[in-house]
Chain A
Amino acid sequence: MKKDDKIREAFSPLLDDELHGEDREAIENELAQEAELLREIDDLRRVDALYKSLGTSQAPADFEDRLRQVMAAKASAQPANVVPMRRTWPLLAAAASILVVSAVVYRTLAPSSGDMEMAAEPVYEALRADDSAGPLTENDTALRREASESAESLVPEAADEMAGAGFDQETSMQPDGQDSVELDAMFGPAPPAEAHRQTGGAGLGGANGFGTTPTNREAGSADVAAAKPPAAAPMPELAAPAAPMRQSIQSETANQPRIQPSAPATTAAAAPPPPRGSMEDRDAPEAAEAKAKASETTGEFYDRAMDPQARRVREQILRAGELSFVFDGTQWVQTGYNGEPLTETLRGSAAWRQLPLPDDMRALVEEQTLNVIFQLGDTWYRATAPAED
């Protein structure tokens, strides 16, 4: 390195009083002998002085008032904004239960009796006889009838919501009552771990836009950057033909970005439990097993068409690469990136801030702390906070 360059490197520390002792003396001695360098550092002083002369600016006088208003508005709007699916879910669950039970009743009993009205009573009796939790009380019966009536009245509303969300009822509400679909079946087998690491999530994103951008090239590879589709590439359709209302994220799908619950089931906990001794439990052990797996699910189907911020979120997701989060009881915490575990990622903590995350990852975590939105294969999910109650 040339001597002048070395002196120039010390200009800023010298101007900012960050150079002390012998180092400072040495630079000052060098400068005294170099008229050109002296002029240069004098210019830099003037640059600073000119900019300082611009002065400070003041926040608007009503800054705190406006902040209070926004905080109050956000606080009141939060429940609706954070978990909009939660309101919809009970309706959809009720509608799904009705349809499932109806389908099973029709398939199993109607052919033998040919009279649905007559068939209903044996089914009810069978349910009652098989109730391992004990005989039904009058109260149970009344509650069950009430629930049945209210669920029936909700069906049209739920159907409207499903139609609005782009669901095809005929295809998404499977007659066998299965409301959970294996990821492998949906998105194909997960890529090998090594290949996945090498491609920085390309196993998921190479074809569907879940790639990385040049800003993420440290985490992803050039291949991934090259494979990234143009920004205008059409988003995958939300309502895939067999898209379920909620899809389970299976832990065995290694290398898939997933949300792992640390607290008891989140959104699944909000769903009404199946009635004791239900047809689903009795007749379909596979379905029961699938349901048990679904109870581990924390991802919910996310309808980006209903979210005005979706485009922005999508851009953030694309930049973010592969994520995994865990809910620590109060917030979602990022635990992995491109298959690599991260520790100490609590949002807002200095430890987290010191992690060598890509800049855009920080933005994503900052933006979506309570409302993580992410993409698996062709489908978008929203991971919501557990029900507060």
Chain B
Amino acid sequence: MVLLREARTQSDTELVAACQAGDEAAFFALIERHKDRLHTIVHRYLGSAEDAAEVCQDACLRAYRALPGFRGDAAFASWLTGIALNLARNRLRDKSRKGRNMGQSYEALQESAPSVLHRAEGAGDSPVASLMEQETAAVLEACLNELDEGLRAAFVLRVFDGMNYQAIAETLEIPVGTVKSRLNSARQFLRGRLRERSVL
């Protein structure tokens, strides 16, 4: 069995091998290592921390079941993230079919809490810095939620996880050239939206 101390020094590949040999502790060592990273990615992708927790749990469960068939052609981190993003995308579509979006778009935010956006747009005049930050964050998240799913996934992986293009390509199962174009499109879209909201 992999002890916690040993697990900290073992690579993902070693832990995966231990897990494939039946060591459940090795699996939880992998989860311990990747859970916050995974949660951040899914949270930013879905726009909801609660849903992110559920999706991450489901992703880990599926990864555990599928691990015997994992051959290590891709990095474990990319593989796990890919599972989580697939589930997150399914959840987005389910919600979308039911008429409920996970995160709020800018327009939805305008309807539900126009004052928040009003203050955010005039953030420079706000005397309370922390409130301003919260409001800016709300606008940033709303704009991110407006991004196309594919663009958002690439942007989230790059900006919040710092993945390089090759890792993003492996995770999303797309060519590196597509990663590049998606990131370009995502940034240009966000730039336009944030300029409209006077955040940029």
Residues of A near any B CB (own CB < 8 A): 8-9, 11-13, 15-16, 18, 40, 43-44, 46-48, 50-52, 54, 56-60, 63-64, 66-68, 70-71, 74, 312, 330-331, 346-351, 353-354, 359, 362-363, 366, 369
Contact = CB atoms under 8 A, between A and B. Distances in A.
A347 B66 contact: yes
Contacts of A56: 36-37, 40, 160
Contacts of A44: 187-188, 191
Given A9-B184, A47-B194, A64 B28 contact: yes
Nearest to A11: B184
A43 B187 CA distance: 9
Nearest to B69: A348
7 contacts: A8-B188, A40-B191, A50-B199, A63-B57, A67-B60, A348-B70, A353-B79
B86 A362 contact: yes
B129 interface: no
Interface string B27-46: 01001100111111001100
B53 A350 contact: no
A52 B160 CA distance: 6
A59 B71 contact: no
A114 B54 CA distance: 68
A18 B164 contact: yes
Contacts of B79: 348, 350, 353
Given A66-B57, A347-B69, A16 B158 contact: yes
Given A18-B165, A54-B140, A351 B160 contact: no
A350 B72 contact: yes
Interface string B118-144: 000000000000000000110011001
Contacts of A8: 184, 188
Interface in B52-74: 52-53, 56-57, 60-62, 64-74
Interface residues of B, number: 61
B184 A67 contact: no
B5 interface: no
Given A46-B200, A349-B71, A54 B141 contact: yes
Given A63-B53, A63-B57, A362-B86, A349 B200 contact: no
Contacts of A74: 61
Given A54-B140, A58-B36, A363-B86, A47 B191 contact: yes
A354 B175 CA distance: 10
A89 B31 CA distance: 40
Contacts of A18: 164-165, 180
B140 A51 contact: yes
B86 A47 contact: no
Nearest to A333: B69
Contacts of A346: 69
A71 B66 CA distance: 13
A64 B31 contact: yes
A124 B98 CA distance: 61
B180 A59 contact: no
B36 A60 contact: no
Contact of B200 (A47, A63, A348): A47
B40 to A, nearest CB: 4
B159 interface: yes
A151 B158 CA distance: 64
Contacts of B38: 59
Contacts of B141: 54
Given A12-B187, A16-B158, 13 more contacts: A11-B187, A12-B184, A15-B187, A18-B165, A43-B195, A47-B194, A54-B137, A56-B37, A56-B160, A350-B79, A353-B173, A366-B62, A369-B65
B83 interface: yes
Contacts of B44: 54, 57
A204 B73 CA distance: 37
B115 interface: no
A180 to B, nearest CB: 33
